[in-house]
Amino acid sequence: MLDFVALDVETANARRGSICAIGLVVVENGSIAQRYSWLCRPPESIGHFDGFNVGLHGIRPEMVAGEPRFSERLDHALAIIGDRPVIMHNAGFDTCALRQACDAEGTSWPTLRYGCTLVWARRELDLVSYRLPFVAEALGVPLESHHDAAEDAEACARIFLAMADKRGSATVEEFGTTVGARLGELRSDSWRGCVSGSSQGLVAPIVVTDAAVDHPLHGQVIVFTGALSRRRQDAWDAVARLGATPEPGVTKRTTRLVIGGGFTGDSQDEFMTGKAAKALKLRQKGQPIEVLTEFEFEWLLRMAS
């Protein structure tokens, strides 16, 4: 049975935790049942409003002045979500925003199972861009006011319903299994993305030793952790073509660690996976491991195109 809740957040500034709006859309048995749109006061320590963000969503400081704080809105949202899976478009951003907002207000992270229509659309569709408006248009989903939290949440819900219908999936879990991307999990002290990070079943590719030696990844030993937008095997194959060696775990050989799952590289507080923690310890001992975000990794791949 297709029961889930679609979620979207908007932020007051470039700090992901500065949540000022939450949109929820409840889907029951494959049909939209309820829709919620809430403003909230972002965490005080990171709650200033930037003109760029205001220009996107139109939410101004005076509009949230009398609203409940983020933590109160989150409690209400979690009561509605219950034990249903949550669907987001670019879940790496939204789950990171939830974590950072909770940290800023000194509250525990929520417990959620979640999927990402951005990740899934990249596996199911062939588009020039996988931003929400492009995916919505490709699937015939209306999106009248992008960056309105409830509008975006409803578009996300309809996008997933369209993809699940094409696959004939009866549940969110079944769809994730079918496309090879398990649901992610957010817990009070840890998280993992909705793309499997397991190295089981990966095939070590042949490293192209005569690849361009001037490419920044040539000769590196690369490990991946967290959710990536591309399949892990595809990432391994891509770096091998550039003359790099992919490996499943961080060791004394590792020279590059690519962290997915919405990692931005802004703070070591975001190094939440076991591989990332091990890399930090090795760096403290003098091993020259460089950490890359998924965006930086993809940019390096495009250099070779």
Determine the average pLDDT of the residues in 251-269: 82
Beta strands in the chain (DSSP E): 4-11, 19-28, 31-39, 86-88, 112-116, 184-186, 191-192, 221-225, 245-246, 256-259, 290-293
Measured CA to CA, the distance from residue 43 to residue 105 in angstroms comes to 6
CATH 3.40.50.10190 fits 221-303, yes or no: yes
Please give the structure tokens belonging to residue 258.
Answer: 């690519």
- Indicate the pLDDT class of residue 269, thresholds 50, 70 and 90: low
What are the tens digits of pLDDT across the range 234-248? 999 999 999 999 998
Q: How far apart are CA 167 and CA 152, in angstroms?
A: 23
Average pLDDT of 176-183?
Answer: 84
* pLDDT score at 177: 85
CATH of domain 4-192: 3.30.420.10
Q: What is the mean pLDDT of residues 67-88?
A: 98
Report whether 183 contacts 196 (CB < 8 A): no
Question: How far apart (Å, rounded) are the C-alpha atoms in residues 97 and 264?
Answer: 11
C-beta neighbour count of 216 within 10 angstroms: 15
CA distance 252 to 2: 46
Q: Shortest CA distance to 135 belongs to which of 117, 114, 161?
A: 117
Average pLDDT over residues 72-82: 98
Question: What is the H or E stretch that residue 48 is in?
Answer: none
pLDDT in tens, 3-59: 999 999 999 998 999 999 999 999 999 999 999 999 999 999 999 999 999 999 999
Q: Where in the chain is the domain with CATH 3.30.420.10?
A: 4-192
pLDDT of residue 181: 79
Question: Does pLDDT of 178 surpass 50?
Answer: yes
Average pLDDT, whole number, for the chain? 90
Residue 40 vs residues 7, 76, 145: alpha-carbon distances, Å: 15, 12, 19
| Cβ-based neighbour number of residue 189 at 10 Å | 7
Closest CA to 214 of 300, 108, 118: 300
| CATH 3.40.50.10190 boundaries in the chain | 221-303
Q: What sign does the CA torsion over 88, 228, 269, 271 have?
A: positive
Q: What is the token pair recorded at 66?
A: 């009398």
- When pLDDT is averaged across residues 121-134 and rounded to a whole number, the result is 89
User: What local confidence, expressed as pLDDT, does residue 197 receive?
Assistant: 46
Question: How many of the other CB atoms lie within 10 Å of CB of 264?
Answer: 16
Pick from 41-55, 68-82, 114-128: least confident: 114-128
Query: Residue range 195-202: average pLDDT?
Result: 58
Q: Determine contact, residues 239/217, Cβ cutoff 8 Å.
A: yes
Where are the strands (E) in 109-172, listed by range?
112-116
